[in-house]
Amino acid sequence: MIRVRVGLGLLGCGALLVAPFAGASAVELPTRKPGLWEMKMIRTGSQMPEMTMQHCTDETTDKDLNNMVSPMAKQICSKQDIQKTATGYVSDSVCNVGGMTTTSHAEIVGDFNSAYTVKTTSHIQGGAAGAAGRDGTMAIEAKWLGACKPDQKPGDIVMPGGGFKLNVKDADKLKGLIPGVKQ
């Protein structure tokens, strides 16, 4: 199944990005084509800059990531719903992390063999001193680049600038750093 993948900042961001797509649902997203995927994240309504990362994956890694994230999403999300549409999929979720409640709606289109796009709108309530609600949008544009590079193994995520690499199989060790998530 496809899950958007992805230190504490990376895992926290990844958990929130993945949460809308994880969990028990009658609809499952297709598995991505094995190889190297480039994922460009563009956010508005946030101070996070645009980010482009690369993810080396195979069918087993996508399934393993879902198995890791799904229980975590069940702990933090009171609603997770994925539906098939004429053009792709839609996902609606309500998740609570660290006193912040995020309500999101995502539209997912693409073929999962060469490219897909995830467009998410969200509303965040709470957090530091009960901050007023914040709205934001994020688009993830993913495209298949080909085979993974020789120094990469399935699960490797290379962050912008190529200096930081994390394997999603190791991310399970960091999930205890996310408020409200049990190891």
CB neighbour list of residue 88: distance below 8 Å, 6 or more residues apart? 107, 108, 109, 110, 116
Residue 63 has a pLDDT of 77
Q: What strand order describes the sheet that includes 77-84?
A: 77-84, 89-97, 100-110, 115-126, 134-146, 35-44, 51-57, 156-158, 165-167
Evaluate whether 91 touches 114 at the Cβ level (below 8 Å): no
Does 152 have pLDDT greater than 50? Answer: yes
Which structure tokens are listed for 170?
């190791």
Task: Summarize pLDDT for 33-71 with one digit per residue, the tens.
Answer: 999 999 999 987 667 788 899 999 998 887 777 666 666
For the full predicted model, state whether its pTM sits above 0.85.
no
Intra-chain end-to-end CA distance of the chain, in Å: 23
pLDDT band at 3 (very low <50, low <70, confident <90, very high): very low
Output DSSP code: residue 74: H
**What percent of the chain is modeled with pLDDT above 70?**
70
SS3 171: helix
Residue pLDDT, tens place only, 70-109 = 667 778 888 888 899 999 999 999 998 888 899 999 999 9
Q: How many CA atoms lie within 13 A of 82 on its CB side?
A: 21
Tally of CB atoms within 10 A around 3 = 24
Q: Which tokens belong to 71?
A: 């229980």
Task: Work out the widest C-alpha separation in the chain, in whole angstroms.
Answer: 47
Task: Report the distance separating Cα 118 and Cα 6, nearest Å.
Answer: 14
The answer to whether the beta carbons of residues 114 and 143 sit under 8 Å apart is yes
